[in-house]
Structures are given as C-alpha cells and as structure tokens.
Amino acid sequence: MFTTRRILGSSAKYLVSFPVWKPRAQLHYSRMSSVPRPLTAVCQVMATSDKEANFTACKQLVEDAKEQGASMVFLPEGFDYIGSSREETLSLSESLTGDIVSRYIQLARKLEVWLSLGGFHERGHDWETDRRIYNSHIIINDKGEIVTVYRKSHLFDVELPEKRISLKESAFTIPGPSLVSPVQTPIGKVGLGICYDLRFPELSLALQRHGAEILTYPSAFTVATGAAHWEVLLRARAIETQCFVLAAAQVGRHHEKRSSYGHTLVVDPWGEVLGDCGGEKPGMVLVEIDLEKVSSTRRNMPVQQHRRDTGFYHSLEKI
C-alpha cells in the first residue's frame, strides 16, 4: 500500500495519509497568493532486484502524482533496482539509451511531467573493458528529453563494524568527474546531488552560488546512518544554503543483507521539516514550492552577503 501526504501552503505541517487509489479532495492553495504555486511529489520506494516490479511501482507513484497536479516527481537512488551482490548489480546495469531510461522518457512525455531519477546504475564509458558503472542522477523534462545527468561525486566506502555496515561503492562505481549546473524546472532551479554527497557542504554551497533554489539528494541511507544523521544533515544543508531540500528515499528490506531507513523528507529554507514519509512503507510527499520563502529567508538573513572571500577561509593554511 502506498501512502500520500499533502503539504498545503508554504508553511503548513498538517499531513493527511491515505492509500493512493482512493478518491482525493481537491488541493487548496494558500490564500496568500491567487496564483497556484508549483506542486512537486517526492517519493519513497522499496526497490529490489526485480526491475519490472520496481518500474511498475514507480510508474504508479508518478501517475498518481500527476493526477494530483504535480509538475515534477522525484524518485530515490536505486529507483531502477538494488542488487544483492556486486555481480548482480553490474549485470542488471544499463546505458542511458537502454530500456529503463527509455521507458521513463516515454512516461514523462505521455504524462507531461518532469522527472528526477536519482541514482541510475549507468554503465561506464569503458564498460567493455573495466565493467564499472556510474551512479547517475537524470533529469527528464515534460517533453521526454534528458536535460542533464549528474554522476555521483562522493562514493560510500564505509566500514562500521559496530553497526554491521560494510559497503564499498568504489569497488564497482566510478566517481563522477564534476558537478553540474542547477537546472531550471517548473518548480524552480534545482541543484543535484546523490545520497552520500549530502555529507559534503562544499557541494551544496557550490550549487547555491550557481543559482540553486532547491537542492535534491535522492538516497538509500542505511538504517543505522539514517537514524543518526539523515534529518540533521538535510536540515543543515537547507539552513546553510537557504534552499528547499527535497530528499526522495528508499525504505525497507531490499534483500537479506540490506535495508534502507526511509523518511523521504522535504525541508524549507528555514530548516523546517514540511513533510516526512516515515520509515515503514513506500509513498510520497506532495508539497507546494513557494520560492518567495527562499527570497525572504535570504533577504532577512543575508548569509551569503556576509560570507568572506575564499582566500579568507584558506588563510589558516598559511599560518
């Protein structure tokens, strides 16, 4: 069963949960503006190695989001699949011209909706020789065109014996060569990261300097690291950049060795959590994006204007 949660207005925090196939009341916008603000859907998924089942579940979420008026839908890292071994992960991977991306292109075109596909297993450019992949974040517009592709910069190589976590993403994944410029979308200018990138404020600040109003971190956080760090990191990124932060997440048990924390989150530029999908099952948060909240937060507390030049922060290196 999927759960949908609506956020009405820019600061409302009252969430309504219901199965996605039930009839829905009309969405009412804040009285502060006569012009409806863009609506976005941030999804929570429980992917397995069954690519067809994953696509069916994600397609249902996208269709439901569009039905309720969303102009852009965000899917998490590993939306295509989560393999149970290195070998399975590599064998299921595809290129950007493969079947999975082609089906999402067709879906975006058919529904006339923008898609953020956060964490696609993309075969590397030298696939035939080195058999490694990129972890790629793809933005598709409502015409079914790939607007940009960001490849994950920071790879999750972590050994936490006390938490029974042992993951080495670099064993089969190539780090992305660079950041990509924020993308103008119907909901605002979106800066792209993926999962572990969340822990590096340099990335979010670089995106903010290049015009990002919204940051997105599609993720598959482990249960242990999620419980400890997920919300506090997302709120910190929102506060320091004064951006909305949208974080689609994986949830639940993918296979016998791996589970994800869930808690798809939407955070506003003041650091307030507007929506949380919880940690139990797939679903989505529907939220209005009020870019005036970005402008007013930055105007009232002009942090970026107070920032010193880059040389100042490197001055300790000369002492």
Q: Which residues are catalytic?
A: 77, 152, 195
80 close to 120: Cβ distance less than 8 angstroms: yes
Q: Give the 3-state secondary structure of 264-306.
A: CEEECCCCCEEEECCCCCCEEEEEECCHHHHHHHHHHCCHHHH
Return the structure tokens found at 236: 């910190």
Distances (CA, A) of 167 to 49, 85, 156: 18, 11, 7
Please, where are the H alpha helices in 51-191?
A: 51-67, 86-91, 99-111, 127-130
Please tell me the distance from the alpha carbon of residue 101 to that of residue 110, in angstroms, as a whole number.
14
Residues in contact with 97: Cβ distance below 8 Å, sequence separation at least 6, in sequence order: none
Amino acid 234 reads L
Residue type, position 5, single letter:
R
Q: Within its chain, how far is the Cα of 62 from the centroid?
A: 14
Using alpha carbons, list the distances in angstroms from residue 73 to 44, 49, 112, 173.
Answer: 11, 22, 11, 26
The residue with tokens 């993308």 is 183
Three-state secondary-structure class, residue 53: helix
Does residue 114 contact residue 140 with C-beta atoms inside 8 Å? Answer: yes
Contact status, residue 254 vs residue 46, Cβ threshold 8 Å: yes
